[in-house]
A = this chain, B = another copy of it.
Amino acid sequence: VSTTSYHHGNLSQALEDAATDLARAGGPEAVVLREAARRAGVSATAAYRHFAGQQDLLERVKQRALGVLAERIGAALALIPRDGDATDAAVARLFAAGRAYVDFARTEPGYFATAFRRTGAEAAEGGSADPEHSELGDDTAFRMLGTILDGLVSSGVMPADDRPHAEYAAWSAVHGLAVLLLDGPLRHMEPADQDAAVERTLRLVVDGLTSGRAMPDAPTGSAAPDPG
């Protein structure tokens, strides 16, 4: 950007930025190598100095998108007060994380879709083939969810027996909602109904994990998790 030299200086970054813009505007389908090069003011061939190909470029954008999603969730969690009743805080964190997830999807539909697009770049997993190690361990958002659920158990609102695989259940609810709202049959619903569906789903998750032990609407402790 700064220098007009023959050598671009930071073409890799520029291409990734352009590709990110494409993804945000049009989803993963819109991540077209030639267009990204065009926007970077460079021939399509130049991209091959920095990326193995289009799939590689898409994979970078995907990782970015996952990172931003994790950031959004982290930012939402940071707003939850740490003091006060442990149970209220744990429940509030679960709510906040879920809401941030869906908000990201609704605010950045193209970006969200790209985050969960299968790229062809995963055949390069190497021979170590650790079956225990999916990409899940690298997923910051997923680890945050795990921590939140641990908090539900340690604060006593969720039985330890219910803990195993709970992250998959919670994630499914919130992810399914996002998918149905963005691309699915719910996309034509009135916005107010969409909002209601979001609230109802978040409540389903909390109630489902705590079997009704959490009382989000009761004005009991200090931290009030739900705006009403």
Q: Which residues of B lie under 8 Å from residue A212 when comparing CB positions?
A: 211-213, 227
Q: Are A165 and B205 in touch, CB under 8 angstroms?
A: no
A204 engages B134 (CB within 8 Å): no
Asked if A31 is at the interface (CB within 8 A of a chain B CB), the reply is: no
Max count, chain B CB within 10 A of own CB: residue among A139, A169, A180: A169
What chain B residues lie within 8 Å of A190 (beta carbons)?
Answer: 131
A219 within 8 A of B: no
Residue A175 CB within 8 A of the other chain: yes
Instruction: State whether B169 touches A135 (Cβ < 8 A).
Output: no
Q: Residue-by-residue, is A116-138 near B (CB-CB < 8 Å gives 1, otherwise 0)?
A: 10100000000000010011100
Question: Chain B residues near A134 (CB, 8 Å)?
Answer: 185-186, 188-189
Q: Which of A45-53, A68-76, A89-97, A193-201 contacts B (4 or more CB under 8 A)?
A: A193-201
The answer to whether residues A171 and B165 also contact, given A136-B185, A205-B204, A212-B227 and a CB cut-off of 8 A, is: no
* In the complex, chain A residues 159-211 whose Cβ is within 8 Å of any chain B Cβ: 164-166, 168-180, 183-186, 188-190, 193, 196-197, 199-201, 203-209, 211
**In this complex, which of A135, A165, A199, A209 has the most chain B Cβ atoms within 10 angstroms of its Cβ?**
A165
A200 and B164 form a contact (CB under 8 A):
yes
- Nearest CB on B from A223, distance (A): 15
The answer on a CB contact under 8 Å between B131 and A200 is no
Contact yes or no, A169 B173, CB < 8 A: yes
Question: A78 to nearest B CB, angstroms?
Answer: 24
Decide yes or no: A204 and B193 within 8 Å by CB, A116-B184, A139-B185 being known contacts: no
The answer to whether A174 touches B177 (Cβ under 8 A) is no
Bound together, the chains give a CA A185 to CA B227 distance in angstroms of 32
Choose one: B173, B185, B188, B199; the contact of A204 (CB below 8 Å).
B173
* A228 shortest CB reach to chain B, Å: 9
Which residues of chain B are near A186, meaning CB under 8 Å? 134, 136, 168
Chain B positions within 8 Å of A139 at CB level: 185
Inter-chain contacts of A197 with B (CB < 8 A): 165, 168-169, 172
A-B contact pairs, 14 of them (CB 8 A): A118-B183, A131-B190, A135-B185, A135-B188, A139-B185, A142-B185, A169-B200, A172-B174, A172-B176, A172-B180, A176-B176, A204-B205, A208-B209, A211-B227
